[in-house]
Copies of this chain bind each other. A is one copy, B any other.
Amino acid sequence: MSQVRAIVFDTFGTVVDWRGSLIADFTQWAQAKNISGDWTALVDGWRAAYRPSMDAVRKNPARGFLILDELQRQSIEPLTASLGIKGLDAKDFDYLTYAWRRLDPWPDCVPGLTRLKTKFIIGPLSNGNVGLLVDLAKYGGLPWDVILSAELFGHYKPDGEVYRGAAKLLSLAPEQMMLVAAHNYDLAAAQNEGLKTCFVPRVTEYGPHQNSDFKAEGKWDYVVKDLVDLADQLGC
């Protein structure tokens, strides 16, 4: 590990609990506004639309790059209609979309990252846009050194441009950077570009709908219990 200088982190699912946070946020907000709806179904349905919406960008470069905020805003409106949630206006949809900027970190993240930061450059490497990731860090107290986003490269993960682009922006060779993720597909793509890899399991990320990523499925450089364990293993 002596040559690794930067550790970057997938964010949604790996660092923050998007599902639990969104369900709690929407439920509380809807109670205060007296709007009824199945908010758990909305969150799960929204997440199901997440990857296809990015894949549409990846497969249609002529369409141009759209940031995640825009994709989420486009997905949410038809989804509420299909779930029979009524009475939402444009401002409400903006509120729901920006809930992705108010997600709680898993409990090990702030202590683990704070220790890792003493020896390494740390940052997200996420499909979230820059503004979203900055707000998320302020909200959760994530002590990033740099914000690395798909938006900076005009490509979504798992496109190779994102992993290579991140290393290049930091003036590093790919093997001087390690990706930490709870998703095997993301690590496979990073490894394919020459990055070091670390798997951290987040087995409650999808709640009862979790059907993959219970364990490491590739030859990753590190497999850790959580980010505090990673700090231990790296002597931070």
Interface residues of A (CB under 8 A from B): 69, 121, 129-132, 134, 137-138, 144-147, 151-152, 169-172
A134 touches B145 (CB 8 A): yes
| Closest CB in chain B relative to A173 CB, distance in Å | 12
CB contact under 8 A between A170 and B131, given known A146-B147, A147-B146: yes
Question: Chain B contacts of A170 at CB under 8 A?
Answer: 130-131, 134
With A138-B145, A145-B137, A145-B138 in contact, do A131 and B69 touch (Cβ < 8 Å)? no
B147 close to A134 (CB less than 8 A): no
Distance between Cα atoms of A152 and B149 in the complex (Å)? 11
Check if A121 sits within 8 Å of B145, measured CB to CB: no
Please measure, in the bound complex, the distance between the C-alpha atom of A138 and the C-alpha atom of B119, giving whole angstroms. Answer: 10
B129 and A171 form a contact (CB under 8 A): yes
Chain B residues within an 8 Å CB radius of A144:
145
Please, how many angstroms separate the alpha-carbon atoms of A11 and B187 in the complex? 35
**Sampled A-B contacts (10; CB under 8 Å):** A130-B170, A131-B170, A131-B171, A132-B171, A134-B146, A138-B145, A144-B145, A145-B147, A147-B147, A152-B152
Smallest beta-carbon distance A66→chain B, Å = 14
| B residues less than 8 Å from A134 (CB atoms) | 121, 145-146, 170
Q: How far is the CA of A134 from the CA of B123 in the complex (A)?
A: 11
